Amino acid sequence: MQRVTEASVTENDSATGDPVTLGSIGRGLLVLAAFAPGDGDEQLAWMADRLWGLRVFPDDEGRMNVSTRAAGGSLLLVSQFTLYGDCSRGRRPSFQGAAPPGRASALYHRFVDTCREGGHVEVGRFGAMMTVKLRNDGPVTLLIDR
């Protein structure tokens, strides 16, 4: 996840080739989400709670001490199976550590629903070729895994 002052995700319209905005946020977290075969509702709930409660926004003294929720932030969730890319062998990444597409799609959509219980959430499109634009705040970039 990255703390951002703004972020958006677009894809090209199939008929015109023009970019179409799928989701856009102001202050908040851009979350690149990948899923493993063993992930389930417990991991999704833990991750959503972590994203909304993680104190990564500055307080009045400039210390990271304010949660996403308390800062009035939003989440932009983008599916990103390539996070499971294993580059340890050969010249092409292996994605065997990622959940298969059907399972990953179901997990992604449940994750979106779970995150929406905590506040404002925007999303990309699962499986689409997208362009992500962001203005990183800090920069603050963290890997969160359970």
What distance in Å separates the CA atoms of residue 24 and residue 12, rounded to the nearest whole number? 15
- Is residue 68 annotated as a catalytic residue, yes or no? no
Cβ 32 vs Cβ 76: under 8 Å: no
- Is residue 114 annotated as a catalytic residue, yes or no? no
Spot the catalytic one: 2, 10, 35, 81. Answer: 81
- Is residue 81 annotated as a catalytic residue, yes or no? yes
State the sign of the Cα–Cα–Cα–Cα dihedral 67, 2, 134, 44: negative
Q: Which candidate, 145, 138, 125, 124, places its Cα nearest to that of 24?
A: 124
- Other C-beta atoms closer than 10 Å to the C-beta of 118 total 15
Spot the catalytic one: 2, 10, 68, 80. Answer: 80
What distance in Å separates the CA atoms of residue 2 and residue 136, rounded to the nearest whole number? 7
Catalytic positions are 80-82
